[in-house]
């Protein structure tokens, strides 16, 4: 007898110190309302991430039985699908994505995700630190107003900060500054010379000795405290420096405010960070997919500055390069305008669908030729599907519930008396 393709799973919570505390965190709210087994909220504890997937560090389990999800999928690979099993070596039950909710109170580390080759090298050399040999590109989809630094700013923008903010310029040897400034208006900003100049600039900042860094930050922070902005300096970047300094005083990562794009996402907006793109999430709550990073600043954890410097792409661009443009997921929907919105980053490992239904609304999702994990972020609904052409099955879901959907399963959603919102991560191979 075939296993049911739709069932609830129990995610896991991660209590990193940057998380929102107690019931202010959506991570804790979802764990509470879904009656996550063994979970009791501690109002003084941080709740940073909710993990939904098969990561060996903290795997999800089947809600009703407690069986580890990856073990169940290994016994029933048809739930993953043959094409996904073949492409991602997922026959042992390991999904190619880790779906997460992040609740951020203070900035995460300045970091990047390694590519596949680098991930394998780092895992082989330092398996106690780099626990995963896979590359982990990341997409962040805002649930609340969400602030982040992502990718290198355009070269002219960085050059402006060098000219406007003397404390930033003081960290960088004059020959490196001169070379960078001479290339900052180049018509080929991603050319080899321009990338080398940006790398030298970034390396000079990130390898500044602690004493010089602290001295310049003290001057900068004191000036910003007095409200003294020089001509051309941005108030939002000054506020960003001050906020990060509250949690990480004297940290070299604060100077990344002058190197990286700073964005504020509204709910429903998303950014994608490919391998080798520096970024740091500052505040807010989002859906994300990843867990393999190289850190360098704004963190009490191990910093691997040499590997970060050597693996970045040094592609300078406006922040719009990182935005993910949404599109309708269900072109056959019978409603006016699709309530299902697809966020499809330029990688094969995962995509995400946001479904937002009005009270008593309905929507059908076509069969996806790969596994899905979805989480309810608002409201209640009934999920219906058929099991091998037999009698229709149903599952009641509510706020915080996490559900696995097997490959090739068509599902129908029927919202309750209020608005219903669910996020569904999936991988599909044709």
Which residues carry out catalysis? Answer: 295
Output Rg (C-alpha) for the chain, integer angstroms.
23
Q: 395 to each of 99, 172, 363, 410, how far by Cα in Å?
A: 21, 60, 15, 14
Q: Quote the CA–CA distance of 102 and 104 in Å, as a whole number.
A: 6
Q: Quote the CA–CA distance of 406 and 388 in Å, as a whole number.
A: 12
Residue 381's SS3 state is strand
Give the list of residues 6+ apart from residue 60 with CB closer than 8 angstroms, or none.
9, 10, 11, 12, 51, 52, 53, 54, 68, 69, 402
Contact indicator for 281, 94 with CB cutoff of 8 Å:
no
Give the list of residues 6+ apart from residue 31 with CB closer than 8 angstroms, or none.
11, 13, 39, 41, 47, 50, 400
| Two tokens, residue 184 | 């900052």
Q: 244 to each of 96, 105, 106, 168, 283, how far by Cα in Å?
A: 33, 11, 7, 16, 10
Q: Quote the CA–CA distance of 420 and 430 in Å, as a whole number.
A: 30
């Amino acid at each position: 007898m075939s296993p049911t393709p739709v069932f609830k799973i129990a995610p896991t919570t991660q209590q990193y110190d940057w998380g929102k505390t107690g019931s202010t965190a959506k991570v804790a709210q979802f764990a509470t309302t879904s009656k996550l087994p063994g979970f009791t909220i501690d109002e003084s504890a941080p709740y940073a991430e909710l993990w939904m997937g098969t990561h060996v560090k903290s795997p999800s389990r089947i809600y009703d039985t407690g069986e580890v999800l990856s073990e169940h999928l290994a016994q029933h690979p048809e739930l993953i699908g043959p094409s996904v099993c073949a492409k991602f070596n997922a026959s042992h039950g390991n999904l190619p994505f880790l779906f997460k909710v992040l609740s951020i109170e203070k900035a995460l580390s300045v970091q990047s995700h390694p590519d596949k080759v680098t991930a394998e090298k780092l895992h082989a050399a330092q398996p106690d630190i780099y626990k995963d040999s896979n590359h982990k590109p990341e997409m962040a989809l805002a649930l609340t107003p969400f602030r982040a630094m992502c990718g290198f700013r355009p070269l002219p923008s960085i050059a402006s900060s060098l000219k406007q903010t003397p404390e930033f310029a003081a960290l960088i040897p004059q020959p490196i500054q001169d070379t960078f400034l001479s290339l900052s208006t180049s018509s080929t900003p991603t050319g080899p010379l321009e990338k080398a100049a940006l790398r030298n600039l970034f390396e000079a900042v990130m390898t500044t000795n602690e004493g010089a860094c602290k001295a310049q930050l003290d001057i900068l922070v004191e000036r910003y405290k007095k409200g003294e902005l020089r001509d051309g300096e941005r108030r939002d970047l000054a506020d960003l420096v001050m906020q990060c300094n509250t949690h990480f005083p004297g940290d070299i990562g604060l100077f990344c405010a002058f190197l990286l794009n700073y964005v504020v996402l509204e709910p429903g907006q998303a950014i994608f960070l490919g391998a080798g793109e520096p970024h740091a999430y500052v505040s807010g709550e989002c859906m994300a997919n990843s867990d393999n990073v190289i850190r360098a600043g704004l963190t009490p954890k191990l910093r691997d500055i040499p590997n970060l410097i050597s693996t970045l792409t040094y592609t300078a661009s406006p922040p719009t390069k990182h935005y993910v443009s949404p599109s309708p997921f269900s072109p056959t929907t019978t409603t006016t305008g699709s309530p299902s919105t697809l966020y499809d980053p330029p990688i094969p490992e995962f995509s995400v669908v946001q479904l937002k239904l009005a009270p008593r609304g309905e929507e059908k999702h076509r069969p996806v030729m790969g596994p899905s994990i979805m989480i309810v972020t608002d409201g209640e609904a009934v999920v219906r599907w058929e099991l091998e052409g037999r009698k229709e099955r149903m599952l009641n879901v509510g706020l915080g519930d996490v559900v696995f959907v097997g490959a090739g399963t068509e599902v129908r959603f029927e919202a309750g008396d209020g608005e219903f919102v669910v996020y569904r991560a999936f991988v599909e191979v044709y």
